[in-house]
Amino acid sequence: MPKKINTLYLVLISILLLTSCRENDHKQHKNTEKKYKLSFHLKPGDKYYYTITAATNMKLEVQEKVVENKNNATIGLIYEMLNDSAGNHLLRITYDSFHILTRKGEEEKEIDAANAASSTDPSEKILGIIKGSSVLMSINDKGKVVAVNGFNTMMDKIMASVNVSDIPSTQVQEIRKQLSAMLGDDFLKTNMEQNFGMLPDTGVYIGDSWKKDAIQQGDMHLNSTGNFTLEEVDNGVAKIKSSSDFDNAIQNNPVIMGFKAAADFKGKEEGTYAVDINSGILTNAKSNTSMQGNVQVMGRDVPVTIELKKEISVKKL
């Protein structure tokens, strides 16, 4: 009997020693790894060119007929860091290029700022005037947007300068509404906070994960919970994988792509990000988003599915 007890005792001691060794090995491994602080480090004078490409496909079934709306947009923006303002970072964003292709059912429309000089389309003319215009954005040290100033004033001046005497005022307002949704404050804020808002608050090792809650602006104000993992650091660039869940529970009956949506929209986003560890600036990003819910068409709730593919590429100027 004593021999059995001694044998059991030795087994337990061996397990404890093995576990302790593994924990110590893990701690030593962590101590030899590098801890990365991924945060906002832009300096006055830093300048970057952002190319944002987004392809949205919305499908809904009305009276047993599938209606498909597509929107493909490529937008070029210049980001220039100015001197700090009131303790925050001041960023000047200049609109440089726009190419937008929309298709609603069988109707297709393409607008391009490059065609503005010879175009009779008021949307293209307005895009041509916006090209080269700038707005100012104030950002805190955590990458959160404090304010965006200048877009509405810019649009007021543009609308006043465009000859729209032969266009119904309702159409002019619709053009302004569409351009504001694609290029305005919410668009700029969402893209900037996707760039910097997902960075961790503390230093992380390769393999570490963290969470971020956010509200994405746009047609629908989406309540988002994101999970991020630092997968590797290669040649000064951090590779981050993301998986986010979101819903529109914080906003009742929003309007999305012209349709009134019920407050049960839910979705998921999977993405990858490349971040320069010295500046905190995004160098490349790709994401796929899928959303499902209901919208109201002719007084009836209609199921709708939305797929969004987005890519951002950045180069330093």
| 133 within a domain of the structure (yes/no) | yes
List, in order, residues 6 or more apart from 242 with CB less than 8 Å away.
198, 226, 227, 228, 229, 269, 270, 271, 272, 273, 287
pLDDT for 260-309, tens place per residue?
A: 666 577 889 999 999 998 888 889 999 998 988 877 766 777 788 889 89
Number of separate domains in the chain: 1
| 27, 20 Cβ separation under 8 angstroms | no
Quote the CA–CA distance of 100 and 78 in Å, as a whole number: 18
Residue 54 lies in a domain: yes
* pLDDT confidence of residue 300: 74
Q: Which domain holds residue 132?
A: 42-316
Does residue 158 belong to any structural domain of this protein?
A: yes
pLDDT per residue as tens digits for the range 75-133: 999 999 987 767 778 889 999 998 888 887 778 888 888 888 888 887 788 888 888 88
Q: If you ran DSSP here, which 8-state letter would residue 37 be given? A: -
The band of 16, judged by pLDDT with boundaries at 50, 70 and 90, is low
Q: Give pTM, 2 decimals.
A: 0.78
What's the pLDDT at 1? Answer: 46
Helices (H), 33-166: 122-130, 151-161
Classify residue 298: in a domain, yes or no.
yes
Q: What is the CATH number of the domain that holds 282?
A: 2.30.230.10
- Interval 200-206 mean pLDDT: 88
Question: What is the pLDDT, as a whole number, of residue 231?
Answer: 94
**Per-residue confidence (pLDDT) for residue 284, from 0 to 100:** 92
